[in-house]
Amino acid sequence: MTNTFFNEDIDRRGTSSLKWDKYKEQDILPMWVADMDFQSPPEVVAALYDRVSHGVFGYTTPPESLEQIVVERLNNLYDWPIEQEWLDWLPGLVCALNISVRTCAKEGEFAAVPCPVYYPFLTAPGLGNRQMMQIFWNKTNNGSWELDWDWLEQNINKDTKIFMLCNPQNPNGRVLTREELERLEQFCKKHQLVVCSDEVHCDLILDRDSCHIPYATISDYARDNSITLMSPSKTFNLAGLGCAYAVIPNPELRKRFRRTRKGIVPDPDNMIFGFAAAEAAYRNGEPWRQSLLEHLRSNHEYLMEQINNIPGLTMTPHQATYLAWIECKLPEIKNAQLFFEEHGVGLSAGAPFGDPNYVRLNFGCTRKQLEEAVRRMKTAVSKLT
């Protein structure tokens, strides 16, 4: 892979793209939903062609070869020796968040949720008639983010049963250190909490000094009291194919998870194309992933410099993901997302994530598109002065 591959303009209009059709026939650059504008690895495309050419698309089961490569991948990349029987396949991670809450907490009980966070974390408790206890990310003096552990310790109650972790974090881009994960494990052990750890962005570490550590590897307690959620969808741009998995080492917890999903979330017998794409990506997509990371790091560096030179806007370094969390201190503007949309840049509003003073920008795009988005943002803000 060369940088040219990730800077190729691919017209997604007219393809029923959620991202692009939101602004159909409008001069607005879609920089919102977590969907990159790159073609998936050529090996993935080839594998899908092969599967289509077979011509029979009946019910399927998770391929043994795919499960084996997931086991090998987690061991090789994250020093996490899992067993195949720990895997539970799902059509996506949003439903897995909801299943996890309902598995671990009864109606009326609590889920602890760090905020701001990917908004399905915030809606999952209520959708299942559970309660939510929010713990907040605080910005430190050096511009980083850390969890407000003192507040949580003072406010935790006996009816809290699950901690909903997003690591790497969406939207602030934090990658938790081993020390932070150990502190979380100690807290959860003290209060007998299960951790649902969404690690979907674990393959997209931008900061070369950071590394992803699965929460479940921290201790025996963490292993036996955790549900880890992963997917090739964000890494290899496969979100439309619907393929994700939960890693649940504890057999009793795994049994409860599967019982909770039964009749609500489909069994994986209709994921024929997702399985084919996932296996090709994991087996042959590493050169593509490494090239992608270089492109995203370059875009991140560019965006950091540009955004922090726009009056009223601030962006702190992101250790992971391709989603920038941008603070907007523009006194004249009540709704930053709407303001930038009116000036041709479609961003995600911060309010659904838990903070209306921010917007989220997807820089998983060509440099040309990113530069144009920045130019429009600069022009918009300049008109305020």
pLDDT at position 4 is: 87
- CATH level 2 (architecture), domain 3-41+286-380: Alpha-Beta Complex (3.90)
Per-residue confidence band for 140, with pLDDT thresholds at 50, 70 and 90: confident
Q: What is the pLDDT of residue 144?
A: 87
> For the range 142-150, what are the long-range contacts, defined as Cβ-Cβ under 8 Å and sequence gap of 24 or more?
143/316, 143/317, 144/174, 144/316, 145/169, 145/172, 145/174, 145/316, 146/180, 147/114, 147/180, 149/183, 149/187
Average the pLDDT over each of 22-36, 86-100, 142-156, 364-378 and give the range with the smallest value.
Answer: 142-156
pLDDT tens readout for residues 204-231: 999 999 999 999 999 999 999 999 999 9
Where are the chain's structural domains? 3-41+286-380, 57-284
**Average pLDDT taken over every residue of the chain:** 96
Q: Which fold has domain 57-284?
A: Aspartate Aminotransferase; domain 2 (3.40.640)
- Chain segment 231-286, per-residue pLDDT in tens: 999 999 999 999 999 999 999 999 999 999 999 999 999 999 999 999 999 999 99
The pLDDT, as a whole number, for residue 1 is 62
| Both tokens assigned to 74 | 């987690």
Residue 3 has pLDDT above 80, yes or no: no
Cα 286 from Cα 267, distance rounded (Å): 29
CB 114 within 8 A of CB 166: yes
